Amino acid sequence: MSDRLFGDSMNELVAAYMLGALPPEESAEVEQLIAGSHEARDYADWLRPALESMQESVAPRKAPDELRARVLEAVADEARAEDLVTGRARPDATHAPRRATRWRDRFSRPAAVGALTGALLFGGIGLWAGSTIEDAAQEPVRVEVVSGTATASLLPGNTTSTLELNGLGQPAEGRVYELWREHEGTTAPVGVFVPESDGQARVAATELNKEIERLVVTEEPRGGSPRPTGERVATLELRR
């Protein structure tokens, strides 16, 4: 079948990609090939059951009970964090292990607020304090990148502004980026984030009022820091 679709060398690339046997840069090339070629896509679709069955080729093994509790608690934590910032009521909240005290403790620390934001950056979209980026106004603020290699744009909103960053690269293992606002020599945390695989990051933030002069991005330990500790990877001057 495969030889009829296209050459062996192409099939070999797709097969190696499907098996996960390509380094990241080659994988990206093959993804483009599959996206742009019906033959490559058909071959990949035809092979897929072989890979899925290899995943199933290991007989199930009972996962430890304590792992179940740990995983579900971690997920419940994230769900509660979503509820807190969106104000939504979760229909089956009673199923989640309750650790409200711990969450209040966490929210008493500025760094943890950043961590919460990081946990909520799904798909590059941030949610913050009950507002979504959809309420953003349409008057852009000019952002000048005075240090670092990133490009940036800011869309201010009535309650929430959205900062879009490109070209930061990924932070080191176990670390995240943290955004800070600066005004008259004081620095305050805005939120933590990790760019998507395509390098784009969108951070939603409140309290970016007209007095804020500068935004700074540093690399910090996972969960963020109460004050900058890592290297500045970008400095952004806001021009209104």
Partner 1 sequence: MPEVQAGHLSAFEVLYDRHAGAGYALAYRMLGRKQAAEDVIQESFLAVWRNRSRYDRTRGSVRSWLLWTVRNRAIDALRKQQSATPTLDSDDDATLERQEAGEPTADVALRNEQAAQVRGALSGLPDDQQRVLRLAFFSGYTHSEIAKRLELPLGTVKGRIRLGLEKVRTGLGEWAEDDR
Which residues lie near partner 1 (CB under 8 A)?
Answer: 1-2, 8-9, 11-13, 15-16, 18-23, 46-64, 67-68, 70-72, 74-76, 78-79, 82, 90-93, 95-96, 122-123, 173
Dihedral sign (CA 152, 147, 111, 223): positive
Distances in whole angstroms, Cα of residue 133 to Cα of each of 81, 86, 95, 121, 130? 18, 12, 30, 12, 10
Distances in whole angstroms, Cα of residue 51 to Cα of each of 16, 36, 58? 11, 22, 12
Least Å distance, CB 101 to partner 1, is 19
Given the complex with partner 1, which of 11 and 131 has the nearer CB atom?
A: 11
Least Å distance, CB 145 to partner 1, is 29
Given the complex with partner 1, which of 11 and 162 has the nearer CB atom?
A: 11
Gyration radius of the chain's alpha carbons: 22
Least Å distance, CB 163 to partner 1, is 21
Given the complex with partner 1, which of 79 and 145 has the nearer CB atom?
A: 79
Least Å distance, CB 123 to partner 1, is 7
Instruction: Report the distance separating Cα 97 and Cα 170, nearest Å.
Output: 33
Given the complex with partner 1, which of 139 and 198 has the nearer CB atom?
A: 198
Least Å distance, CB 112 to partner 1, is 18
Least Å distance, CB 62 to partner 1, is 4
Given the complex with partner 1, which of 90 and 214 has the nearer CB atom?
A: 90
Instruction: Report the distance separating Cα 220 and Cα 225, nearest Å.
Output: 6
Q: Is residue 168 a contact partner of residue 201, using CB atoms and an 8 Å limit?
A: yes
Least Å distance, CB 199 to partner 1, is 18
Given the complex with partner 1, which of 89 and 138 has the nearer CB atom?
A: 89
Given the complex with partner 1, which of 128 and 180 has the nearer CB atom?
A: 128
Alpha-helix residue ranges (DSSP H) falling in the chain = 2-5, 8-19, 24-36, 38-55, 65-86, 100-107, 110-119
Sequence-separated (6 or more) residues with CB below 8 Å from residue 27: 17
Token pair recorded at residue 100:
């409200």
Q: Which of 183, 192, 201 is nearest to 225 (CA)?
A: 192
